[in-house]
């Protein structure tokens, strides 16, 4: 057994928990998903501290998993792909800043989660190596009152980022407002923008054109949009704000 997906608390009920733990402790797992478990933070910490999965490369957990316990687990393993599942519309709390030695995670190259969770993790880890893909799932309400600020806060810990995927909720606000005085830039080379609703995502994405000012290293931009909307005007709008101007390759992917 190399892949185990647990998406329910049923396997952790008294009749099944012994069987589940036996599998977790003995199977040569490469991919593990633990979501919708209804674990409390202490239960997460206890479980992760007891697991030793030397072949694990992909991990998915709920955002109820305490970040320090998750960092300790990642430090003991060679996980390269991490998804932190955000299951509702509430913005998870941002982990308070504490002085702590940042933990190196040389194997991690793919991270997927909400801004608050990503930022909480980044504050505790050291990722100085090239990073393959960061997926930021923006919340309806921004952590820092501006979605681009949320985005830049997540990416400022990465000096070499190949792909940035941004998923924008339909009711997101403060998209077109460029944060005044914010001089930070994102090192991403390939940028993907998509919405959560295929029918309205084009309208949402169009407000993000000013963001291009924060991407001096961009090589390609991908936009997911509905099939009915004309693409040329949208392409030109994004190129207007980009440091590359009209030479920025903008790829439109139709639903």
pLDDT tens for the chain, residues 1 to 255: 899 999 999 999 999 999 999 999 999 999 999 999 999 999 999 999 999 999 999 999 999 999 999 999 999 999 999 999 987 555 555 556 555 689 999 999 999 999 999 999 999 999 999 999 999 999 877 766 788 999 999 999 999 999 999 999 887 766 777 777 888 999 999 999 998 876 666 678 888 999 999 999 999 999 988 766 678 888 999 999 999 999 999 998 887
Residues 144-166 as b or e (16 or more Cβ within 10 Å = b): bebbbbbbbbbbebbeebbbbbb
DSSP-derived secondary structure for the chain: --EEEE-SGGGGSTTTHHHHHHHHHHS--SEEEE-S----HHHHHHHHHH---TT--EEEEETTS-HHHHHHHHHHS---EEEEE--SSSPPPPPPP---PPEE-TT--EEEE-HHHHHHHHTTEE--S-EEEEEEE--SS-SSSSHHHHHHHHHTT-SSEEEEEEEE-TT--S-S-PPTT-------SEEEEEES-TTTHHHHHHTTGGGGGG-TT--EEEEEE-TTS-SHHHHHHHHHHSTTGGGS-EEEEE-
């Amino acid at each position: 057994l190399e892949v185990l997906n647990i998406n329910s608390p049923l396997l952790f009920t008294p009749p099944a928990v012994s069987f589940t733990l036996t599998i977790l402790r003995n199977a040569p797992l490469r991919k593990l998903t633990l979501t919708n478990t209804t674990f409390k933070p202490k239960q997460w910490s206890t479980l992760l501290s007891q697991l030793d999965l030397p072949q694990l490369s992909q991990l998915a957990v709920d955002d109820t998993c305490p970040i320090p316990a998750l960092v300790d687990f990642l430090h003991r393993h060679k996980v390269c792909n991490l998804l932190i599942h955000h299951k509702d519309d509430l913005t998870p709390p941002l982990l308070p800043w504490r002085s702590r030695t940042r933990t190196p995670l040389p194997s991690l190259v793919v991270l997927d989660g909400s801004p608050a969770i990503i930022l909480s993790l980044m504050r505790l880890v050291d990722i100085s190596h090239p990073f393959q893909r960061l997926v930021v799932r923006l919340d309806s309400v921004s952590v820092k009152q501006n979605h681009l600020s949320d985005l830049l806060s997540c990416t400022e810990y990465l000096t070499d980022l190949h792909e940035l995927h941004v998923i924008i909720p339909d009711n997101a606000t403060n998209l077109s407002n460029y944060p005044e005085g914010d001089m930070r830039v994102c090192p991403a080379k390939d940028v993907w923008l998509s919405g959560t609703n295929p029918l309205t995502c084009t309208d949402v994405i169009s407000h993000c054109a000013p963001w291009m000012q924060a991407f001096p290293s961009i090589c390609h931009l991908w936009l997911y949009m509905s099939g009915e909307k004309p693409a040329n005007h949208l392409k030109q709008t994004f190129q207007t704000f980009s440091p590359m101007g009209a030479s920025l390759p903008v790829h439109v992917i139709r639903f």
